[in-house]
């Protein structure tokens, strides 16, 4: 039940993001700035818990559309860390 709430919080935070922030997030987890050929319904995102701690950033395995997400103390921290990870990725020319 705790993990279900954890993943639910993630999806709620993703819904709060602007379209541009979600686009940046999609690039962060897939390294691709284009919609899948058959549409977003074919984009399979996997979310996996990756420890605890507000100081850690989420990481992604772009080949697998896998998000490694630490457990944060609040949704606000989750949003801040996701956006920080997306901003850091933009420095690698992936946007």
32 is catalytic: no
Residue of 63, 91, 92, 93 marked active site: 63
Euclidean distance between CA atoms 18 and 14, whole angstroms:
9
Alpha-helical regions (H) of 31-94:
75-90
**Site of tokens 């284009």:** 34
Contacts of 15 (CB under 8 A, 6+ apart): none
User: What's the chain's length in residues?
Assistant: 95
Catalytic residues: 63
């Amino acid at each position: 039940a705790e993990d279900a709430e954890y993943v639910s919080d993630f999806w709620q935070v993703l819904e709060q993001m602007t379209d541009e922030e979600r686009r940046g997030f999609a690039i962060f987890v897939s390294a691709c700035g284009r919609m899948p050929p058959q549409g977003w319904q074919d984009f399979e995102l996997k979310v996996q818990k990756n420890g605890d701690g507000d100081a850690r950033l989420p990481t992604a395995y772009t080949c697998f559309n896998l998000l490694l997400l630490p457990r944060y103390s609040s949704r606000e921290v989750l949003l801040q860390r996701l956006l920080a990870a997306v901003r850091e990725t933009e420095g690698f020319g992936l946007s």
